[in-house]
Amino acid sequence: MQQRTEDLTGRSFGRLTVLERDRAPRESSGGHAYWRCACDCGNETSVAGCALRDGSTKSCGCLRREMYAAKHGTRYSYDGRGCRCDQCRKWKREQDLRYRARNPEKAKEKSRRWKDAHPEEHLAMTRRNAKKLNDKLRETAERHGREWTGVELEIASRPDLTARQVATVLRRTLSAVRNMRQRLASDLDPRDRMLANGPQPPTSRSGPR
Ligand SMILES: [Zn+2]
Ligand SMILES: [Zn+2]
């Protein structure tokens, strides 16, 4: 059924110029004739004749690489070109999250190894992140400096929440939450403790006891 193979030698398709028929055996040629081509970029590649004729292959892959090179927020841009623009960083963050979600154990092991190998960088990163978090929480800490309510104290003493989560929920600073947690951890009942050395002196309105 196969038609006689048209000789493409010497013809050009995009960046590719056909050198000769590629007769090397291949696993999945699909019955197509393959052609060894020289790419304008200097690479050589082997392409099925039909892909050349229908225009689906126009280069050794350099066209696609260049196309991706112009884009940000891709693996090519971040890993390949080493771009660190906002968009590429965002891609990397999301990529890391996706990886961690898929391989939680591997990710933990990987970061542990990195931490052991780069103790100083790890410390610097921890400090940077803590500062960033502090700044962020300070922006939303509208309850900062106000007296703690009973509900707030209950939330703060929940062991299943991190200090960061408590600070976010209560709109307080991280240090305020940590201090309060330390107080809560002491043996005094937190509310007694609040009264003992609490920030608010009793006002005249509070009346006689
Ligand atoms: Zn090329
Ligand atoms: Zn970029």
Round to whole Å and give the CA distance between 37 and 72. Answer: 30
Given a cut of 50, whether residue 204 has pLDDT beyond it is no
| Cβ atoms of residues 63 and 44 within 8 Å | no
**How close is the Cα of 125 to the center of ligand 2, in Å?**
22
Determine the pLDDT at residue 68. 73
What type of residue sits at position 21?
R
Round to whole Å and give the CA distance between 36 and 26. Answer: 13
Closest ligand to Cα 61:
1
Closest ligand to Cα 73:
2
> What does the pLDDT look like over 23-53, one tens digit per residue?
888 777 677 899 999 999 999 999 999 999 9
Count Cβ atoms below 10 Å from residue 89 Cβ, excluding itself. 14
Q: State the pLDDT confidence band at 194, using cuts at 50, 70 and 90.
A: low
Q: State the pLDDT confidence band at 187, using cuts at 50, 70 and 90.
A: low
Given a cut of 70, whether residue 208 has pLDDT beyond it is no
Structure-model confidence comparison of residues 31 and 195, the more confident one = 31
Closest ligand to Cα 14:
1
Share the mean pLDDT of the chain: 84
| Cross-strand partners of 21 | 35
Q: State the pLDDT confidence band at 112, using cuts at 50, 70 and 90.
A: very high
Given a cut of 50, whether residue 80 has pLDDT beyond it is yes
**How close is the Cα of 156 to the center of ligand 1, in Å?**
61
Q: Which of 24-33, 37-46, 128-137, 194-203 has the highest mean pLDDT?
A: 37-46
**How close is the Cα of 69 to the center of ligand 2, in Å?**
9
**Residue ranges of domains in the chain:** 12-67, 75-117, 140-195
Closest ligand to Cα 39:
1
**How close is the Cα of 43 to the center of ligand 1, in Å?**
5
Round to whole Å and give the CA distance between 183 and 63. Answer: 64
| Cβ atoms of residues 16 and 52 within 8 Å | yes
Determine the pLDDT at residue 142. 75
Nearest-10 crossing angle of helices 104-117, 119-140: 110
**How close is the Cα of 116 to the center of ligand 2, in Å?**
29
Given a cut of 50, whether residue 163 has pLDDT beyond it is yes
Q: Which of 31-35, 80-84, 98-102 has the highest mean pLDDT?
A: 98-102
Closest ligand to Cα 78:
2
Closest ligand to Cα 15:
1
**How close is the Cα of 7 to the center of ligand 1, in Å?**
22
The order of strands in the sheet holding 12-13 is: 12-13, 16-22, 34-39, 44-48
**How close is the Cα of 44 to the center of ligand 1, in Å?**
8
User: In sequence order, what are the residues at sequence separation of 6 or more whose Cβ sits closer than 8 angstroms to the Cβ of residue 148?
Assistant: 156, 180, 194
**How close is the Cα of 39 to the center of ligand 1, in Å?**
5
